[in-house]
């Protein structure tokens, strides 16, 4: 199941992504927001990141105005590798090379057509492991070093 979250700047793009997931029969849980009324993106980043970190959901997609704030906030949760992407190649590589478990998009910088292509490539990609695994392990060590 995919965890979805957005702030007011990402609401409309989140809705377009939901339509794509519905058409493909891909299960998701929408953690909000549910309108374009102004909200604080860290609240939604945390909900999605915790759902992914706890394995309630297998992966997550977060959308704010640029995707940057969501990425910063989600990456504060141990075990999360939230990747901000602006193109299809980066979205796919985020999964294949970085084992990104959350994809972050910008509702004010990415149109729905491109976003759907990015989501599709990211969902269909597989972590390649190998030389990339040792780098993921190093990220986990950094996390451990600074965890309380």
Q: Is 8 a catalytic residue?
A: no
Set 8, 55, 84, 97: catalytic member: 97
Q: Is 64 a catalytic residue?
A: yes
Burial code of 53-83, b = ≥16 C-beta within 10 A, e = fewer? beeebebbbbbbbbbebbbbbbbebeebbbb
8 Å CB contact between 2 and 21: yes
d(CA 48, CA 6): 9
Set 64, 84, 104, 132: catalytic member: 64
List active site positions.
64, 97
């Amino acid at each position: 199941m995919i965890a979805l979250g957005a702030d007011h700047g990402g609401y409309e793009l989140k809705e377009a992504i939901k339509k794509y997931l519905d058409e493909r029969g891909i299960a998701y849980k929408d953690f909000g927001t549910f309108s374009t009324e102004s909200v604080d993106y860290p609240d939604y980043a945390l909900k999605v990141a915790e759902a992914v970190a706890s394995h309630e959901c297998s992966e997550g997609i977060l959308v704010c105005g640029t995707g940057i704030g969501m990425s910063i906030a989600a990456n504060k949760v141990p075990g999360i590798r939230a990747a901000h992407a602006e193109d299809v190649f980066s979205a796919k590589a985020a999964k294949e090379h970085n084992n990104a478990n959350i994809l972050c998009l910008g509702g004010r910088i990415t149109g729905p057509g491109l976003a759907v292509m990015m989501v599709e490539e990211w969902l269909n990609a597989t972590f390649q492991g190998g030389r990339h695994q040792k780098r993921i392990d190093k990220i986990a060590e950094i996390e451990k070093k600074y965890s309380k």
